[in-house]
Structure formats: C-alpha cells, structure tokens
C-alpha cells in the first residue's frame, strides 16, 4: 500500500484496536481463477511472539477456499468509511486557491499465509470468539449456547474455517497530517458544521492524530 511517511501508522496497539473496531475485512486471495475477494468479519488473535493470526470462516458454498492457490499470501483489508474533505474548508483557499478536495480515511492491510481449519471443534472455537467480540456492545449478549446444539452443529458443518498467520502489517491513517495547522483546523470546523456522526468522528480522529505543533 502506498503510504507517505506522514500517514504511516505503526503502533501495534493502535492497529489492533482499529481492527477490533472495524472487523469486517475485504479478504483478497490468489486462486486458480485469478484474484478473488470476499467480505468476512475476522478476529485478530494476538500471540506472545509475532503478530498473531486472523481467524474467520467461509461458507462452504463459497468456492474461494477450494480455489485458493497454496503458498500464496492472503491479504485482509480493514478500513473505515472515511469522509470527503471539501477544498472550501481550507483557509488557504482564500489566499491563493491552490487547494483541491480529497478523502480522509484509515486503512490497515494485513498479509499472511492462510490455512484451512476443517474440524468442528475449530469451527465452534472460532464462532465463539467472533460472537464474543461482536456481542460486547449488547446489553444482553447472545451466545452459541442460546441456540439448539444440533442447529449449531449443522451451522458448523456448513462453514470452512481458516487462520491467517500474520507476516506483515501496514497501517495508513490519512487524516490531514500533510496540511498546515490552520488548514487542519479549517477541516475540523467544516466537518463539525456538517453535524453528522460520521463527520464528528472524522473531526475527532484528525485532532487525535494531528502532528505535534512546532515550538517557537
């Protein structure tokens, strides 16, 4: 992923947190039919040594797991929805008009070797981890045990689980760090004026990840 230095994000805790809050990944796999992509929520399991692994599952009806080429890296892409940034929000526009609009966004790319996990025990374990992660915000959390055991067993037989041993992580947080302090504040003001949840969230992220101000 092309990432200018100003937009690089390398903090492991921050990258892990981002993936936890944006678990729906675009998973890209090299297959015997060419590149294929599918959209799957993934669980990042940390390990003491290394980056850990990503866990997820395909529907068995999805041919991607059968067509995947061996010994080829898989790519999982996690991203937020981003936000449009109007050039009108830059104070510099009033000075010289040499500004253009853009999109701000955050993305994390994770590369690694994929391995199929075919046992029912693996399926139950991975479904449990994913469910516990996604149900955290619920006042009354759903559990696998809430459904009949034979129904869960049938669901487990209908999926193909996998793990991706993480080999490389790239983080890109494009949040107006390349702009002057005045332009960044103009962007924040413009976003807040839109008065939407997405705009307020982007404004907060810009402020959170703004480069430190230079001392006079």
* Domains in the chain, CATH or no CATH each: 5-85+103-179 (2.30.110.10)
Residue 134: how many other CB atoms lie within 10 Å: 14
3-state helix, strand, coil in the chain (%, to 5): 35, 35, 30
The answer to whether residue 214 scores a pLDDT higher than 70 is no
70 Cβ contact partners less than 8 Å away, ≥ 6 residues apart = none
Using one digit for the tens of pLDDT, what is the confidence trace for 31-83?
999 999 999 999 999 987 789 999 999 999 999 999 999 989 999 999 999 99
Instruction: Give the global pTM.
Output: 0.93
In this prediction, residues 157-174 reach a mean pLDDT of 97
Q: Confidence class of residue 215 from pLDDT cuts 50, 70 and 90?
A: very low
Using one digit for the tens of pLDDT, what is the confidence trace for 7-31?
999 999 999 999 999 999 999 999 9
Q: Name 78's bridge partners.
A: 108
């Amino acid at each position: 992923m092309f990432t200018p230095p100003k937009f690089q994000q390398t903090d492991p805790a921050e990258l892990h947190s981002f993936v936890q809050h944006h678990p729906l990944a675009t998973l890209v796999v090299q297959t015997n039919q060419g590149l294929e992509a599918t959209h799957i929520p993934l669980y990042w399991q940390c390990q003491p040594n290394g980056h850990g692994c990503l866990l997820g599952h395909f529907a068995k009806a999805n041919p991607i797991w059968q067509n995947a080429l061996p010994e080829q890296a898989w790519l999982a892409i996690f991203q937020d929805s981003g936000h449009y940034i109007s050039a009108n929000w830059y104070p510099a526009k009033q000075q010289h008009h040499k500004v253009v609009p853009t999109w701000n966004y955050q993305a994390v790319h994770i590369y690694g070797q994929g391995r199929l996990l075919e046992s029912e025990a693996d399926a139950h374990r991975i479904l449990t981890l994913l469910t516990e992660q996604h149900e955290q915000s619920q006042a009354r959390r759903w559990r696998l045990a809430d459904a009949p055991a034979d129904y869960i067993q049938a669901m487990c037989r209908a999926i193909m689980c996998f793990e991706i041993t993480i080999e490389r992580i790239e983080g890109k947080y494009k949040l107006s760090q390349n702009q002057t302090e005045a332009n960044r504040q103009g962007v924040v003001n413009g976003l807040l004026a839109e008065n939407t949840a997405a705009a307020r969230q982007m404004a907060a992220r810009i402020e959170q990840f703004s480069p430190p101000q230079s001392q006079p």
